[in-house]
Structure 1
Amino acid sequence: MLKTVLMVIHVLVSLFLIAVILLQKGKSAGISGVIAGGAETFFGKNKARTMEGTLERLTTIGAAVFIILSMVLTLLMAK
C-alpha cells in the first residue's frame, strides 16, 4: 500500500518537474545577451521575485523531492 502511494506521488512529482522545466526560459541569450547585458544587473537583484526565480526555486524543490522519493522507493523495493 505504501509503495503504491509513493509511486503515485513519484509520478506526480515527475510530471510537475517536466512542466516547471518546460516553462523556464533558456539560459543562452545569444548575441542579444551581450548587447543588453547592462539591464541584467537591475533584474538580477529582484530575480527571486520574478517568475524565473520562482520557477527556479520550484525546480530545485521538485528535484530534491524526486531524488529523496527515488531513494526511498529503491529501499522499499529491495525488501
Structure 2
Amino acid sequence: MLHTVLIILLMIVAIALIAVVLLQSGKSSGLSGAISGGAEQLFGKQKARGLDLILHNTTIVLSILFFVLTIAVSYFDL
C-alpha cells in the first residue's frame, strides 16, 4: 500500500518537475551564452525576478522532493 502511494506521488512530482523546467525561459543561446550565463548565475550578477524566481524555487523544491521520494521508493521496495 505504502509503496503504491509513493510511486504515485513520485510520478506526480516527476510530471510537475518536467512541466516547471519546460516553463522556464532560456537565459541565452549557444555555447558562449551558456558559459557566460553560468558565470553570471554563479557570481550573482543577474538576479531573477517575478515568474522566473518562482519557477526557479519551485524547481529546487520539486527536485529535492523527487530525490527523497526516489530513495523512499527504493528503500520500501526491499
With the shorter chain as reference, the TM-score category is 0.7 to 0.9
TM-score of the two chains, using structure 1 as the length reference: 0.72
Name 1:57's counterpart in structure 2: 57
Does 2:18 match 1:18? yes
Where structure 2 has 5 or more consecutive residues not aligned to the other structure, the ranges are 34-43
Q: Secondary structure at the match of 1:28?
A: coil
Quote the offset at 1:52 in angstroms.
0.1
Identity of aligned residues (%): 41
Name 2:74's counterpart in structure 1: 74
Q: Secondary structure at the match of 1:53?
A: helix
CA distance in 1, matches of 2:3, 2:66: 15
Where structure 1 has 5 or more consecutive residues not aligned to the other structure, the ranges are 34-43
Name 1:39's counterpart in structure 2: none
Q: Where in structure 1 do 4 or more consecutive aligned residues deviate above 3 Å?
A: none
The RMSD of aligned alpha carbons is 2.2
TM-score of the two chains, using structure 2 as the length reference: 0.73
The structure having more radius of gyration, on CA atoms, is 1
Name 2:38's counterpart in structure 1: none
Aligned residues: 66
Quote the offset at 1:65 in angstroms.
0.1
Quote the offset at 1:29 in angstroms.
5.4
